[in-house]
Structure 1
Amino acid sequence: MDYAPPPDYAAFLQHQLTQQQAGVASYRLGGAQVWLKRAGPRHGMGRYRVLGAIAGALRLDVLRPIPNLGGRPAIATEVRRLRELAARGLRVPRVLAAQEDGFLMLHLGGPAQHTPSLADEMNAAVNAGPEAVLALWRQGLQALRHVHESGACLSQAFARNLVRCPDGVMGYIDFEDDPAAVLPLPQCQSRDALCFVHSTALYLRMAGALDDARPVWQDWMQACPTAMHAVLAHSIARMGWLRHLPQSRRLGRDLQRARAAHDLLTPHA
C-alpha cells in the first residue's frame, strides 16, 4: 500500500498567499478541504469611538465595541483564539499553519460537506412551525453554555457564527477580535448572550415561537453564574427604551431585530 506523506501546510500557505486575491478562499489539500484567510487592510478606529460613546451614554459596558484593527493584528488574534478555544475542547476550525499575513485552517466538515449556520437553519425552519425553530434556538443556547462553562467567550456570538458540523455538533467561527482583552469575563459572556438573542429573536417571532421562547430564556438566564446574571439583568433593564421601536418592516431589518430581542428578553412584553 502506497503511503502519501502529509501535506506541507506551511509551504502551501506561504506560496498561496502570494497568489490569492480574496480575503478568504477554499482549497482541496491532501484529501481535505482547507480555508486560507489572508490579512486585509487595517480598519480605522472612528466607528469604534462613536459606538463606545453611545455605550457609555447608556452605561452599558457590555455593549462596548471591541476594536478590530484588521490586517495582521486581526490574523494574530484569530489564530491565537482558535488555538486557545480548541485547547478548551470547543469545536473550532483547526489551525494548520500561520504567518503574519494569513493562516490556513481545516474545514469543520469533510470535503464539500455543508456546514450551515444556525441563522440559516432557523430561517429555513420558520415555515415548519414554532417547535422546529424553538428546538434550534435551544441548541444555540446550549452551545453558548458549553463555551461559557469552559471558561471562555466568543467574539461575535451571532447565529451566523454558530455552524452545524456534519456530526451534528455546533461549531464556532470568526474570531478576529477578543472581548476578554478589554472586558471582564462576565461582561464578555453576557455580550455573547445578547448578541445571540439579537440575531435570533426575529426568527422566533416569524415562526410564532416568541412566547414559548421567553420562559426558556428566563430559565437559561437564571442558571447563569451570579456575576453574569447581574450583568444581564442590568443590561436588559437599561434597554427598556427598545419597546418604543415600531415593528414595521418598512423601517428595516435591524430595527425589527432589536424590537424582537426586547420582546423576548422582557418577561411581560
Structure 2
Amino acid sequence: MVEPIVIEGQRAWLKQYGAGSRALALGLLSFVARRFQLDALRPPPHRGGDAARETEARRLGELQAQGINVPSVIGSGHAALVLEDNGSSFNTCLRQADDAGRDRLVAAAMDAIAQAHQRGAYFGQPLPRNLTWDGEKVGFIDFEEDPLEVMDLAQAQARDWLMFGYGVAKYYEQRPQQLQAMMAAAMDTAQAPVREHAHALTGRLQRLARASMKMGRSARALAHAIIIVHGATTLGVLMVLAVCADFLADGQLDILELFT
C-alpha cells in the first residue's frame, strides 16, 4: 500500500509492504516460462514485509548509484519505507495528453530506459503506472522484486522493453506504425543479446497474436503490440506478459475479463 504524506511541507510517500506468498501462482508462471522458453517472463520471488522493504531499498540504492532518476529513501520502519516524491503519474500524463504529447512522453521514457540500460541498469516492471514525470524527466518507482534472482542482465533488460511495450500499446491502437518506429529507434542502442532475446520471444507468440485479433478490443490491442514490437525487432511475449504483469500487480487475473 502506498499513500501520500507531507514532511516539512514537502510531499512524500509512505509505502507499506504486506505479506508475500503467491507461491503456487508464481510457480505456475515460472513453469510456463520455462516450458515455452520465455526466460524474460520468469517471475522473480514476490516477498512481503521486511524482506520486500529490504529488496526495494537495495534496488533504489543501486539505481541511484547508476545515475537513474528514482526516489530517495528518507525514512524506514517495520515493513515500510518513506520515499521522496519524484513526479506525477506517467500513466495519468499519457491519458491526458494528445497524440503529439503522448509521442513526446513515450519517446522520453524510451530514451530514459535506453540510457539506463547502457549504464548496466534494469528495472523489472517499467509499466506506465510505475513511471513518473516531473515535466522534464522520467522517473522510475516500484522495486520490491529483483529479476536478476531468476535471469541474467540481458534477459532482465529485454523484460523491461516487453513490460514497457505492453503498457503503452493501448495508446497506439490507431497509430501502431508510430509506436513501432519509436521502438526501433530506441532499441538501436540495446546490446545485441537483448534485441535477439526479445525478438525470439516475440516470434514465439505470433500465433497467439493472430488468434487474439478475433477477440475483444483489449485482446486486439495486445495482438497489435506483439506484431508491432516484433517488427521493431525488440519486444514481445506481450500476451503471456500481460497475464504475468496483471497477476503480479494485484494478485488477480483481471485480464480474464478480455474473454467474457
1:44 and 1:69 in contact (8 A); partners too: no
> Quick one: which amino acid aligns to residue 153 of structure 2?
L
Is 1:67 matched up with 2:54? no
Aligned to 1:29: 7
Gaps of 5+ in 1: 1-22, 110-114
Is 1:144 matched up with 2:113? yes
Secondary structure, counterpart of 1:98 in structure 2: strand
Which digits, 9 at most, give the CA deviation of each residue in 1:185-239, with x for residues without a partner?
Answer: 000000000110011112111xx32112223322333331122122122112212
Is 1:259 matched up with 2:223? yes
1:187 and 1:228 in contact (8 A); partners too: yes
Quote the Cα distance in structure 2 between the aligned partners of 1:85 and 1:267.
30
Quote the Cα distance in structure 2 between the aligned partners of 1:107 and 1:222.
32
Aligned to 2:253: none
Aligned to 1:55: 33
Quote the Cα distance in structure 2 between the aligned partners of 1:116 and 1:102.
21
Which digits, 9 at most, give the CA deviation of each residue in 1:27-81, with x for residues without a partner?
Answer: 2112222222223122231110111111122111011111212222111101111
1:247: Cα distance to partner?
A: 4.1
Aligned positions, number: 232
Quote the Cα distance in structure 2 between the aligned partners of 1:136 and 1:209.
15
Aligned to 1:244: 210
1:133: Cα distance to partner?
A: 2.7
Aligned to 1:159: 128
> Quick one: which amino acid aligns to residue 89 of structure 2?
P
1:100: Cα distance to partner?
A: 4.3
Aligned to 2:159: 191
Residue from 38, 41, 64 that aligns with 2:19: 41
Change in Cα spacing, 1:222 to 1:102, as seen in structure 2 (3 Å) is same
Quote the Cα distance in structure 2 between the aligned partners of 1:164 and 1:78.
20
> Quick one: which amino acid aligns to residue 29 of structure 2?
L
Is 1:170 matched up with 2:138? yes
The alignment-based identity, stated in percent, is 26
Aligned to 1:14: none
TM-score by length of 1: 0.79
Quote the Cα distance in structure 2 between the aligned partners of 1:216 and 1:36.
35
> Quick one: which amino acid aligns to residue 34 of structure 1?
A
1:95 and 1:103 in contact (8 A); partners too: yes
Quote the Cα distance in structure 2 between the aligned partners of 1:26 and 1:219.
36
Change in Cα spacing, 1:72 to 1:266, as seen in structure 2 (3 Å) is same
1:35 and 1:104 in contact (8 A); partners too: yes
RMSD: 2.0
Change in Cα spacing, 1:257 to 1:68, as seen in structure 2 (3 Å) is farther
1:116: Cα distance to partner?
A: 2.4
TM-score by length of 2: 0.82
| Higher Rg | 1
Structure 1 or 2: more helix by fraction: 2
1:257: Cα distance to partner?
A: 4.0
Quote the Cα distance in structure 2 between the aligned partners of 1:150 and 1:100.
32
